[in-house]
A and B are shown apart, each in its own frame.
Chain A
């Protein structure tokens, strides 16, 4: 497993991707600081909208869709496929690495927002960040293993479903990842909807992460290896 983790780390943590991500994270942090400076009443909106609503899903998207997407596009997946490795291990290793890399940047950003908005409940915020990143990453790894241009489709999922459609009703919001992430930190809820209990939210996010790995395993077994 350690060789697999190193393999995916090497393929995902390319200089270009890391540099672009660092620039993006710095940009969002600066934007957050500017917004915070202009607003007197800090209610956790930065963490909720810029953090959980935008940064976490997009960080997971960048690393998640590339985990298999890049290997498929570059036609190098064959070197992992033609080895005595279970497809479960392949899916789990890719998800783990994508989630870990995305989490590093997500936590840095979240710390910036916590400091900027002087938020309390730091452990819950960090737990929500980790679990949210893992759930999104698992789903996006599966997406990258299944369809081409997963980055585009994933962006549409985040912007249209997660950010726009799902929040329109209580029933629909329960079908979004964001709903359960925010349920872990009830202080961030904006009052328009009630989340589930923290433990249920944690359990659902863990199920999503494991489900994403299962989806990835299924996607790999269904596809032709280029």
Chain B
């Protein structure tokens, strides 16, 4: 897809841990924010689905995460203009999507529901979507887009008879057929087989690299981690965190980082680390446990397991101490800075 005016290169992306209300710092509205969520609350009767959520999304891929019932779908629907917030405001490219449908010329949406209109072929459906979005050569674009998601544009079957995976790809094709600047995807990888998932993750990454603003809602954290390191996390209807999950993990000074060190002199290094004050806790674990922690079949050496809240100081010390001791460092592996760990810490699941 060709890049279009108004897109912001991903490196200028303003989303950072400081932007969300969850960080405890005041929000500063960025001029490059493509989607702005301002104090959005949503009630369903007595149930508060979203409570004063404020954050922004800029170009690149951002994952919207949350456990079931966290308000993820409600926020997604509010962003897409499908459900108006009870309080607060949503803006896409400075426009309220609920009041100004024109903004959808620059927005593509992959909804969660599987249903597609009956009585059309995939090509007719995607062509209609393109024409409704004002695409001039709608039929050619539809055929091209279907090809990009590995579907046959000449297929004469009714699109409502498609399998789950094919339906998912048609939904993605209709969302991208008009080359939108903003792409909203609710569980886009559902129903796809492993090969198609890899292909779709590549496509989403490409959209982000082109400077489009892509918001992906997903509950499969392993896949989200491959899509993007930028996350917006909701917990119990409130914003838990916004930003790069590695940075978020570094900011969690109430949760010591667990780091495993493979070295030629584990006991000596463990003692030196403890004496240096760069760690909060240290232990030497036997080879069998080391293999399990490192997710390997077997290990021959014991490992040093460290808890530390001062990762930067630890990194400095580990190099100096191992050099002083003449210990070889084979591996220094963080054990709890994956997206899954960060998410678990944020939503309070111990």
If A81-B82, A84-B133 touch, whether A76 touches B101 (CB-CB below 8 Å) is: no
Closest 3 pairs between A and B when the two form their complex, measured CB to CB:
A84-B105, A83-B132, A225-B82
26 contacting pairs across A/B (C-beta < 8 A): A3-B131, A10-B117, A10-B120, A11-B119, A14-B119, A74-B117, A74-B118, A75-B111, A75-B115, A78-B82, A78-B109, A79-B116, A79-B117, A80-B132, A81-B81, A81-B82, A82-B80, A82-B104, A82-B107, A83-B101, A83-B133, A84-B105, A85-B101, A224-B77, A224-B83, A226-B113
Q: Which of the listed residues A6, A84, A225 has the most CB atoms from chain B within 10 Å of its own CB? A: A84
Is B83 in contact with A10, judged by CB distance below 8 angstroms?
Answer: no
Residues of B within 8 A of A80 (CB): 132
Is A3 in contact with B132, judged by CB distance below 8 angstroms?
Answer: yes
Residues of B within 8 A of A87 (CB): 101
Q: Which of A4, A76, A81, A221 contacts B117 (CB 8 A)?
A: A76
CA distance A73 to B51 in the complex (A): 29
CA distance A79 to B159 in the complex (A): 14
Interface assignment of A115: CB less than 8 Å from any CB of chain B? no
Is A74 in contact with B115, judged by CB distance below 8 angstroms?
Answer: yes
Interface assignment of B223: CB less than 8 Å from any CB of chain A? no
CA distance A226 to B117 in the complex (A): 14
**B111: min CB distance to chain A, Å:** 5
Is A84 in contact with B118, judged by CB distance below 8 angstroms?
Answer: no
Is A84 in contact with B103, judged by CB distance below 8 angstroms?
Answer: yes
In this complex, the interface size class of chain A, counting residues with CB under 8 Å from chain B, is: 20 to 34
CA distance A3 to B134 in the complex (A): 11
Q: When each residue 69-91 of chain B gets 1 if its CB lies under 8 Å from chain A and 0 otherwise, what string results?
A: 00000000100111110000000
**B336: min CB distance to chain A, Å:** 39
**A70: min CB distance to chain B, Å:** 9
Interface assignment of B128: CB less than 8 Å from any CB of chain A? yes
Interface assignment of B129: CB less than 8 Å from any CB of chain A? yes
Q: Which of B81, B101, B115, B128 contacts A7 (CB 8 A)?
A: B128
Interface assignment of A192: CB less than 8 Å from any CB of chain B? no
**B136: min CB distance to chain A, Å:** 13
- Of chain B, the residue at the smallest CB distance from A84 is B105
CA distance A74 to B120 in the complex (A): 15
Interface assignment of A86: CB less than 8 Å from any CB of chain B? yes
Is B129 in contact with A224, judged by CB distance below 8 angstroms?
Answer: no
Residues of A within 8 A of B83 (CB): 224-225
CA distance A85 to B102 in the complex (A): 7
**B176: min CB distance to chain A, Å:** 13
Q: When each residue 93-127 of chain B gets 1 if its CB lies under 8 Å from chain A and 0 otherwise, what string results?
A: 00000100111110111010101111110000100
Interface assignment of B308: CB less than 8 Å from any CB of chain A? no
If A84-B101, A84-B103, A84-B104 touch, whether A10 touches B131 (CB-CB below 8 Å) is: no
Interface assignment of B174: CB less than 8 Å from any CB of chain A? yes
Is A11 in contact with B118, judged by CB distance below 8 angstroms?
Answer: yes
Residues of B within 8 A of A3 (CB): 128, 131-132
Q: Which of A4, A14, A221 contacts B132 (CB 8 A)?
A: A4
If A3-B131, A226-B113 touch, whether A79 touches B104 (CB-CB below 8 Å) is: no
CA distance A6 to B120 in the complex (A): 11
Known contacts A10-B120, A11-B118, A75-B115; 10 additional CB pairs below 8 A are: A3-B128, A4-B132, A6-B128, A76-B116, A78-B82, A79-B117, A81-B101, A82-B81, A82-B108, A226-B113
